[in-house]
Amino acid sequence: MSVRTVVWRGTRLGALIGAWPAGIAGGLCLVAAFVFLTGGHDGTARALTSAGAFAVLGSMAVGITLGTATGLALALAPRRLLARAPLRALLAALTAGLPVAALALAALTGDGYTLASYPPSIHFLTWSATLTIALVAAARSGDIAGYGTDH
């Protein structure tokens, strides 16, 4: 299988990974913007609309980047590693999950804050999203690499 095909499959997975949070965040921001617009708060409605657009674009960009990186890692990995499902899944999970974890740490510890500055709910959401992305990439690693689904 060609490198281009594997990378394309990873990019498609990344678009799917990015579409879920993009749809949720964009939809919530648009509903909130409509509520503020009908209440006569035009400035807040514009701010929420632009925030929703940035959330959608950012989520899709991160998802596509992660998917492309996962596809590229699987395309360049040795075939003997890809033939073993646990190793292939681990490679895909690390490739997709580690950048999200690093980005989350950088976002949470920026501006002089520490991880203890946030409530446990923020940590739960951040790490569950990171784990979900890693598990989806691991579960789909066989399809991306061209080895079919693992049963």
Render each residue's pLDDT in the chain as its tens digit; 151 residues: 788 999 999 999 999 888 988 888 888 888 888 888 888 777 888 888 888 888 899 889 999 999 999 999 999 999 899 889 899 999 999 999 999 888 888 888 877 788 787 888 888 888 888 898 999 999 989 889 888 654 4
- Give residue 15's pLDDT: 92
Angstrom CA distances, 105 to 95, 122, 123, stand at 16, 12, 10
With beta carbons less than 8 A apart as the criterion, state whether 10 and 74 touch.
Answer: yes
Q: CA-to-CA distance for 106 and 9, rounded, in angstroms?
A: 29
- Give residue 71's pLDDT: 92
- Give residue 149's pLDDT: 55
